[in-house]
Amino acid sequence: MYFISTRGGERVTGAEAVVKGFAQDGGLFVPETLPGMSAEDFEALLSMDYPERAAFFLHKFFGEYGEEGLLSVLREVYARFEGDDPVPLVRIENGLYLLELFHGPTCSDKDVSAGILPYLMREGMKLLGAKEELLSVTPTSGDAGKAVLERFRDADGMRALVFYPEEGVSKMQKLQLCTQEGSNLSVVAVRGTFDECQNGVRKIFASEKCRKAAAEKGVRLTTAGSANFGRIAPMICAFFSAYADLVTSDQIGQGDRVDVCLPAGNFGELAAAYYAVRMGLPVGKLLFACNKNSGPAELFRTGNFDGKRPLYRTMSSSLDLICPVNLERILFEISGRDASLTAERMAQLSGAGKLSLRADELKTVKELFCADHTSEDDTVDCMYEFFMEYGYPMDTRTGVAMSVALRYMEKQKADPMSEKRPMLVLSVASPYKFPQDVLYALTGNDVKDSFKGVKRINLLTAMKVPEAVKSVRNKNAVFKTTVSPEKIVSETLAFI
Where residue 455 sits, what CATH number does that domain have?
A: 3.40.50.1100
How is 380-400 classified by DSSP, letter by letter?
HHHHHHHHHHH-----HHHHH
- In this structure, the number of other CB atoms found within 10 A of the CB of residue 330 comes to 20
The alpha-carbon radius of gyration of the chain (Å, integer) is: 21
Q: To the nearest 10°, the Cα dihedral for 343, 211, 15, 197?
A: -60
Q: DSSP class of residue 423?
A: E
pLDDT digits (tens, 9 = 90+) for 108-128: 999 999 999 999 999 999 999
Q: Is a pLDDT exceeding 90 seen at residue 9? A: no
Q: Residue 245 — φ and ψ, nearest 5°? A: -65, -35
Q: Helix, strand, or coil here: 300? A: helix
What per-residue confidence (pLDDT) applies to 50? Answer: 97
Beta bridge partners of 89: 99
Give the C-alpha separation, 27 to 10, whole Å.
Answer: 9
Q: Residue 305 — φ and ψ, nearest 5°? A: -130, 135
What per-residue confidence (pLDDT) applies to 423? Answer: 98
Residue 77, domain member (yes or no): no
Residue 480, domain member (yes or no): no
pLDDT digits (tens, 9 = 90+) for 302-355: 999 999 999 999 999 999 999 999 999 999 999 999 999 999 999 999 888 899
Closest CA to 453 of 476, 430, 475, 479: 430
Total domain count for the chain? Answer: 1
What per-residue confidence (pLDDT) applies to 111? Answer: 96
CA distances 99 to 69, 337, 427, Å, are 27, 31, 6
Residue 12, domain member (yes or no): no
Q: DSSP class of residue 336?
A: T
The helix (run of H) or strand (run of E) holding residue 239 is helix 229-248
483, 188 contact by CB (below 8 A): yes
DSSP E strands: which ranges in 32-129? 89-93, 96-100
What per-residue confidence (pLDDT) applies to 314? Answer: 96
Closest CA to 281 of 238, 328, 332: 238
Q: Helix, strand, or coil here: 84? A: coil
Residue 375, domain member (yes or no): yes
Q: Whole-number mean pLDDT of the chain?
A: 96
Residue 285, domain member (yes or no): yes
**Domain assignment of residue 259, given as a range:** 89-106+230-462
* Burial category of 462 from C-beta neighbours within 10 Å (exposed 0-12, middle 13-18, buried 19 and up): exposed
Contacts 24+ apart (CB under 8 A), 7-10: 7/339, 7/340, 7/342, 7/343, 7/346, 8/339, 8/340, 8/342, 8/343, 9/339
Q: Residue 31 — φ and ψ, nearest 5°? A: -60, 140
Angle at the Cα of 37 from the Cα atoms of 35 and 42, rounded to 5 degrees: 150
Give the C-alpha separation, 44 to 469, whole Å.
Answer: 37
pLDDT digits (tens, 9 = 90+) for 280-299: 999 999 999 999 999 999 99
Dmax over CA atoms of the chain, in Å, equals: 67
Higher per-residue confidence, 130 vs 352: 130
Residue 206, domain member (yes or no): no
Residue 419, domain member (yes or no): yes
pTM for this prediction: 0.96
For the residues 40-66, what does the mean pLDDT come to? Answer: 96
What per-residue confidence (pLDDT) applies to 18? Answer: 97
Residue 325, domain member (yes or no): yes
Helices (H), 265-375: 268-278, 295-302, 327-334, 339-350, 359-368
What per-residue confidence (pLDDT) applies to 110? Answer: 96
What per-residue confidence (pLDDT) applies to 235? Answer: 97
Q: DSSP class of residue 28?
A: B
Beta bridge partners of 100: 427
pLDDT digits (tens, 9 = 90+) for 238-283: 999 999 999 999 999 999 999 999 999 999 999 999 999 999 999 9
For the residues 462-491, what does the mean pLDDT come to? Answer: 95
What per-residue confidence (pLDDT) applies to 87? Answer: 97
- In this structure, the number of other CB atoms found within 10 A of the CB of residue 369 comes to 20
Give the C-alpha separation, 47 to 247, whole Å.
Answer: 11
For the residues 186-208, what does the mean pLDDT come to? Answer: 95
How is 182-205 classified by DSSP, letter by letter?
-TTEEEEEESS-HHHHHHHHHHHH
- In this structure, the number of other CB atoms found within 10 A of the CB of residue 333 comes to 20
